[in-house]
Chains A and B, each alone.
Chain A
Amino acid sequence: MALSTFDAILARVAAGFWASESCLSEQAAAVTSTLFTGQNMPAHLGVNIRAFPTPLPTGVTAYIPTRLLQQTSTNYGFIWARLVNLGNLDLAAPTFTDGSAFPSVTEAGVSRSESGPILAEVTTVLNATPGSITVTYVDQDGNTAEATASHTLTASAAVGTCGFMGLVAGDWSARDITTATRTGGTTPTGVITFWGVRMLCVSCLPAANGELRQENLLTSAFCPQRLAAGDVLNVIGVGAAGIKTGLFEVFAVGDN
């Protein structure tokens, strides 16, 4: 991040190097609340925030979100995040198709791999007896071949149904998924995509309908992060089952 003073950020806004992107996210009635037996936190992957200009405009090396805005039809929590496509599992064979790993970043002067929770999303509807899945992953410390417990899938889960995966005792995130498989079920069908979650902030709306909540990422929840060209933000709704909609907006300053 090149911008290193508050005044420098203001100057960039004054010079027009900023972007405001928004999205409307809707969870329809057809979406199942939870994907796994024992899942305590309903999760819903919202529509992507409209992508920041790509390629980046001349004079902009990255975008730094400085404010988040949210208004929803019911009160629930939000995880603002970039997502890493870690791979997907076709339940039928089953067949795992590998994706990407979390990127390496410089943190406190040291280059290390990022890590985050694994969010599983139904991307092709599941049949009535889809069985259970197990994921093998690299944990936050780089330990390989960590295998999750078997996660029993919700019957006939609709496209868009999501759930965070429980990890091995003591683990709290993953760097990569190396394989995934399905056991049990009766002629299972459906596809599950695994997302790695790189959080930008976690927030909530304490009351529904009409209340707007903003997160100031400089003077309140200080957590400015650089979004590179092509990075896309997403909003993961957590905690509330059922129908809901949300209107989200992010304001970002173009780094120099």
Chain B
Amino acid sequence: MGSAFNSIDDLLASVATNGPVVRNFFQRSTAAITAANTTSGYVTTRRQLSTITVPSLGAGLTGLIFTTIRMAPGGSNSYAISCAALEYELGVLTVSGNSFAAGAVASMPTKTIRGTSIQTASLLPVVVATTALGGATTPALTITYTDQDGNASQTASLTLPTNPTINSGFLVTPHLASGDTGWRDVTNMSISAGTSGTLKAYGLLPLAFDLSAGTGANAGMALDLIPSNLPAFVAETNDIIAFYMFGSTAATDFVAFLFGVADN
């Protein structure tokens, strides 16, 4: 991280000099997702279909710090938790043929933390049905991964619900090998049953959380960066920002507002 987040004055100066990056996001999801259970992440998880790609930046600018991210789900999702995160696609399993391929990125990225460039591991590892599964009756999913410390060939085992619908996510953290807290990379996935559908393994670096405030209230009791001291990951050009919701299966509309300040 450069100097933009050293003080409120530095944030103001960057906004004045470079202009903020504002994103106004809306997603309508018309279908319910499949609930998680004790063998598939415990917490019901939805991945919003659309994602934001961090744009190119002006000369001398290295990334964006999102000082404010607010999220509001639809009325059927009271008390759902929303999350915006940098998302890295680490592996793809095509259920037909039980065929694994590497994801869009080679591994989790390096980020500068405490002044040092370090290899990150996902704070939230998740598997998502990016197309609905068919013919998959309580399939056993086995994931081979490199853990947070770089130990390869670790194994996570989940049993998914029957035929997860599109955008259903399953948190992998509870099913990692004993002592593991995240993954740097996913090197293989295989499934015991199923004839169609796609599962993708992602690593998430959360940027913000938001809690819908109650029945019909829909908008956030947000954790903002400055007062809440969230992980201040710098988003770099072509990074993907994805949105997740935890705790509700219902179809939903979803609004998000993001305010990014250029770092140098």
Q: Which residues of A contact B (CB under 8 A)?
A: 1-7, 9, 38-42, 74-79, 81, 105-110, 112, 114-118, 164, 166-167, 169-173, 197-199, 201-206, 218-225, 238-241
- B49 contacts A108, C-beta separation under 8 Å: no
Residue in contact with A107 in the complex, picked from B52, B55, B220, B256, CB distance below 8 Å: B55
Provided the pairs A108-B18, A170-B50 are in contact, do residues A204 and B221 lie with their beta carbons within 8 angstroms? Answer: yes
Query: How far is B39's CA from A185's CA once the two chains are assembled, in angstroms?
Result: 49
Point out the residue from A38, A76, A171, A172 that lies within 8 Å of B217, measured CB to CB: A76
- In Å, the complex CA distance between A7 and B9 comes to 8
Q: Which residue of B lies closest to A111 (CB)?
A: B19
CB pair A40–B253 under 8 Å, yes or no, is yes
The residues of A that contact B68 with a CB separation of less than 8 Å are: 201, 221-223
Residues 62-81 of B at the A interface (beta carbon under 8 Å): 64, 67-68, 70-76
Contact A218 B8, beta carbon cutoff 8 Å: yes
Q: Which residues of B contact A198 (CB under 8 A)?
A: 22, 24
Q: Is B16's CB under 8 angstroms from A4's CB? A: yes
Q: How far is the CB of A43 from chain B (nearest CB, A)?
A: 9
Given A110-B56, A204-B213, A219-B226; A5-B12 close (CB under 8 Å) = yes
Instruction: Please tell me if the beta carbons of B225 and A108 are within 8 angstroms of each other in the complex.
Output: no
Q: Out of B15, B51, B72, B252, which one reaches A204, CB within 8 Å?
A: B72
Given contacts A1-B15, A201-B68, A224-B12, contact A112 B55 (CB under 8 A): yes
A109 to B263, CA, bound (A): 11
Residue on A nearest B53 in the bound complex, by CB: A141
Assess whether B27 is interfacial by the CB under 8 Å rule: yes
Taking the closest CB of chain A, its distance from the CB of B68, in whole angstroms, is 4
- Distance in angstroms between the alpha carbons of A1 and B8 in the assembled complex: 14
Q: Which residues of A contact B224 (CB under 8 A)?
A: 220-222
User: Does B255 reach chain A (CB closer than 8 Å)?
Assistant: yes
Q: Is B262 an interface residue (CB 8 A)?
A: yes
Given A38-B30, A112-B55, CB of A222 within 8 Å of CB of B74: no
Question: Does B16 lie within 8 Å of A172, measured CB to CB?
Answer: no
A109 touches B216 (CB 8 A): no
- Whether B257 lies near A76 (C-beta < 8 A) is no
- B8 and A219 within 8 A (CB): yes
Q: Do A117 and B72 form a contact, CB below 8 Å, given A198-B24, A222-B8?
A: no
Known pairs A202-B70, A220-B224, A222-B224; A108 contacts B64 (CB<8 A): yes
Is B19 a contact partner of A106 (Cβ separation < 8 A)? yes
Can you name the residue of chain B whose Cβ is closest to the Cβ of A240?
Answer: B216
Q: Do the beta carbons of B255 and A238 come within 8 Å of each other?
A: yes
Q: Judging by beta carbons under 8 Å apart, are A171 and B255 in contact?
A: no
A166 to B29, alpha carbons, bound, how many Å?
Answer: 8
From 1 to 47 in chain B, residues with beta carbon under 8 angstroms from any chain A beta carbon are 8-9, 11-13, 15-28, 30
Judge whether B57 is part of the interface by a CB distance below 8 angstroms.
yes
- The distance from the CB of A45 to the nearest CB of chain B, in whole angstroms, is 14
A117-B59 contact, Cβ under 8 Å, with A164-B253, A221-B70? no
Contact B24 A108 (CB under 8 A): no
Closest partner residue, chain B, to A239 (CB atom): B218
In the docked arrangement, what's the CA distance between A167 and B216, Å?
Answer: 23
Contacts of A108 in B (CB 8 A): 18-21, 55, 57-58, 61, 64, 260, 262
